[in-house]
Structure 1
Amino acid sequence: MMPDLIDGSENVSVHGIFNWILLLIIFSAITVIANYLGYKHPMTDSLIGMAILSVITLIGVWMERYLPFNISSILYISVMGIAIAFPGMPTSDFVLYFVSKIELLSIVTVFLAYVGIGMGKSWDEFKALGWRAIVITVLVIAATYYGAAIVAHIVLVATGVPAV
């Protein structure tokens, strides 16, 4: 059975930090590859952008655990990201250039894959679902996509937007 990478404990131990770093390295590598294959952004630029995002994430998680305020890490991460990318800051041009090389869809795809696997709690449980669960999942996603496309088309036609 695979141990949880992120244990959610209040104190960040060396083991916990190592797990966060390992998770962010894997996440970043997959995102950089997807970003290169899907959007043709240079891998070096994408890698630097993901390194910036990963460092901000690590600092935000550390701040949540060690600062005496009851504030979520997402708030710390957001404020740090805004602060270092704010126009006029010395880091702004550097951060904006490299982070803009990371497409949102690349990040979201990897994140959703991780969440989907994480919902099974372990690889053994995920494998136990079998091929039928994968077929059902693909059918549900396809039906949702086509259903949304049909509704969007109907609304566009009803509001006078010409059909393509």
Structure 2
Amino acid sequence: MSDSVVAKETTRPKIDLVDHAIVLIIVCLVGLVMNTVGPAIPLMDGFMGMIVIYLISMAGLILTRFAPFYLPSVAWISLVGIVATLPWTPGSEWIVAQAKSVNFLALATPALAYAGFAIAKKEIEVAKHSGWKLALVACLVFLGTYAGSVLVAEAILKLQGI
């Protein structure tokens, strides 16, 4: 059993914190531009919010790299963000106030655009081999998501008497 634990630990991805820090700075700058241009949030308000988000992200990446057990970086970043904004965490009110000045839809737009462009060759091959089955499943997922959203919206509207 100890061999499997050692084997899993050796396959843990090594995160280059310097590279991630540089990429995060670039992403934050693009996000700051989108935050200022799109929803017209003042530059300095968005800047402080981006610094807070950057620090939370870096803290999560540091935990991913050095924690005694492995969790994916998205889990560590989420945990750091949650703990930093809990009401009993010192300074949480300030962190929440700064983060409120960042429009997360403005941050999601460039990320989703990049994800659309970043289709790998392997994914194209999977789509070719899956053919009509993949298209059918995708259509059913879209339909189910849309129908579920409609049902939730209708229920909320009815509860509010609208």
Please give the range of the TM-score, normalised by the shorter of the 2 chains. Answer: 0.5 to 0.7
Q: How does 1:15-164 map to 2 (within 5 A)?
A: 16-119=16-119
Number of aligned residues: 118
CA deviation after TM superposition for structure 1 residue 120, in Å: 5.0
CA deviation after TM superposition for structure 1 residue 46, in Å: 0.9
> So what's the TM-score if we normalise by structure 2?
0.62
Q: Which residue of 2 aligns with 1:11?
A: 14
Q: Following the alignment from structure 1 to structure 2, what is the Cα–Cα distance between the partners of residues 108 and 93?
A: 24
Q: Kindly tell me: are residues 89 and 68 of structure 1, through their superposed partners in 2, closer, same or farther at Cα, counting changes over 3 Å?
A: closer
CA deviation after TM superposition for structure 1 residue 117, in Å: 3.2
| 1:56–1:81 contact (8 Å) kept in structure 2 | yes
Structure 2 spans left out of the alignment, 5+ residues = 1-11, 122-141
Q: Kindly tell me: are residues 70 and 17 of structure 1, through their superposed partners in 2, closer, same or farther at Cα, counting changes over 3 Å?
A: closer
AA matched with 1:87: P
| 1:11–1:66 contact (8 Å) kept in structure 2 | no
> So what's the TM-score if we normalise by structure 1?
0.61
Q: Determine what percentage of the aligned residue pairs are the same residue.
A: 25
Q: Deviations over 1:105-128 (max 9, x none)?
A: 11111211222333358xxxxxxx
| 1:35–1:46 contact (8 Å) kept in structure 2 | yes
From the two aligned structures, give the one with the greater helix fraction.
2
CA-based RMSD of the aligned residues comes to 2.7
